[in-house]
Every structure is written in C-alpha cells, then in structure tokens.
Amino acid sequence: MNVCRILFYGFRHGHVYGLYKRVMASEDAAVAACVEEDATARAEAEAALGAVFSDKSYEEWLSGDIDAVAVGGAYGDRGAAIIRALEAGKHVIADKPICTDLAELERIETLAREKGLQVACMLDLRYLPQMLAAKRVLKSGRLGEVRNVSFNGQHCIDYAHRPAWYFEKGKHGGTINDLAIHGIDLVRMLTGMEFAAIDAARVWNAYAVRHPEFKDAATFMARLSNGAGVLADVSYSAPSQVFSMPTYWEFRIWCERGLLTMCYTDSAVTIYEEGSADPIRIEGEEAAENWLSEFLCAAKNGDRSVTENVIRSTKTALLIQKAADKEKQG
C-alpha cells in the first residue's frame, strides 16, 4: 500500500473537515470518494470543501478499491459504520467518539484484532507542543510521582452552529463520551497510567435550555492505577469565546514536588516547583507525527499501539458515561 485510498463516509460534524483537508494535503493518502446520505450535510461539505460525492452507496464502496474509511457521521451511527468497514477488511480513522455503546466497542476491538486492521481517532491534544513538553517534564521525574489531576474541557452549547442531530434521541451518546475522551486520552499519555476506578460521575441539563432532556453538564471523579485522583468538568457551560480562554482544555497535574499546568491556548507549560520562588515556563516542542501520519504508518507496518490506545481511551470514556447515566436514573 503505497498511497492509502480513503473513502470518506459521513460529514455530519465539522471535525471531519479537518481530516479531509489533511488527507488532501498528504503525499501518503488520497481521497478515493465521498459518501453522505444526508442532503444538507452533503451540500455543506460541497460548499466548504469542494468535496465531490459519489452516487455509489457505502456498501458498494466497501467492496471496492479502497484501503480505509474515514467515518464522520452522527455519533450514534459511527459504531455500526466502523463495524461494517472492519468486516469488509478496511482500516478506519474517525472523529471522536468512535461509538456510543460498549457492545459496539467490543465488536470493533475484536474485528480489528482478528483481521489485523487499524482503528484510529482524531485525538489531537496529545500532539500539541505544550502537551509534549508536559510529558517530557513528568517522564523526567523532576516533580516526582503524580498524585492528583484536574482538567476542564468546557465547550459552548452554540445553538447557531451545533448540528441539529446532537439533540435527536440516540444520536449524541452523552457529553462525557463526546468531550471527556480528549482529556482521558491525554492523562493516559502524560502519566503512563490507566484509569483504575470511577468514584463518581454526573450529567444534567444546565445550559441547553431549548432541550431540557439533553444532559449538557458533566463532571466526574476517578482514580489512576497508582491511586492518584482525577477530577474533571467537561460541560457545555462556556461562553462562545471559549476557544480563546485559558480554561479551554486546562490541565493541572499535582505531583510530589510541585504543580504542572498547561492549556490549549498556551504553547508552553508552567511548573511551580517545590523550593522555587517563581513559576517556571517551559516552551512546547513540535510533534514529529500527528494522528493521520501515525494511522498511515500503522496501516503499513501493522503496529497495534494506535488502535489499542484508541480502544482504551474510548472504553474509559464509555464506562464513565455509563456510570453518570446510571446515577442520573437513580
């Protein structure tokens, strides 16, 4: 496989536009075709990307000359689409979340393992310069063992631009599964530890006033494998300027000998080290890879680490979402 031919299936969320643009710019991948059953989503992608859509169905393309499928449909539809692609022997790269159901995830994991296929996800926080710098600091042992982690991943409800299907029954799958997977994946990457226990999780309606059944506020408390606590808020609670605010994907990692902080809007990390009077800024470092290049490399050489990471982060998010849904019902 010299150039990976990728079928784009679904343009129901703007995130997939970024994947499309990256594939178009890649020397190692090419857009084989685009399929989208929804007329509105198709027209929007045509206008925004110049994407050309095929008259052939998804099933027809799965039996055709493609190597992989990029899945960008409504969240609740993604699991089934990914399973169909894997059953057809195609690699998969998708926007997050890859599915909304633990049974679907188990089937995805089984198919990927049995068929030697890759499942990648657009988990971009782990490739940011500040996050790579944070990983280097933590790995060096400078601050000692991680003891507590907190992060904010608030977004805005943004009725003007949020896809209408978010509020359709069975399409969204929960705010924790939607948003927290980014933070969960990053915490796993930075600490090298897995989430070992869920202590509390809650979802409720607070900001989506037009849809009182939509649980847009979400918090949880969990533990890492060394007993360190994790406290997170991933609510749709922020104002529209959230993407320029220092609270957008803000992480605080408390260690034996100090605190490490970073956020999406600052390319450096700040540490407050025991015995040092002043905070210390450490500049970020550019990533050698990104989620697309790592996927393409894994599809060629069979490295299972990309797929295994996506499965673990997704499973953790789904388990926390399940705990929150159970608490809500109780």
Assess whether pLDDT exceeds 80 at residue 329.
no
| Per-residue pLDDT at 196 | 98
Bridge partners of 6?
31, 68
pLDDT band per the 50, 70, 90 thresholds, residue 130: very high
Give the other-Cβ count within 10 Å of 210's Cβ: 8
Q: How far is CA 5 from the centre of its chain?
A: 23
**Cα 205 vs. chain centroid, distance in angstroms?**
23
pLDDT over 60 at 125, yes or no: yes
- pLDDT tens digit string along 240-252? 999 999 999 999 9
Q: What is the Cα–Cα distance from 19 to 249, expressed in whole angstroms?
A: 21
Report pLDDT for 161. 84
> How much is the average pLDDT of 216-226?
98
Judge whether residue 198 has pLDDT over 60: yes
Strand order across the beta sheet in which 146-152 lies: 195-204, 217-224, 229-233, 146-152, 250-255, 258-263, 268-273, 280-283
Q: What does the pLDDT look like over 26-77, one tens digit per residue?
A: 999 999 999 999 999 999 999 999 999 999 999 999 999 999 999 999 999 9
- The 8-class DSSP code of residue 95 comes to P
Mean pLDDT of 110-138: 97
pLDDT of residue 224: 98
Q: What is the pLDDT of residue 328?
A: 63
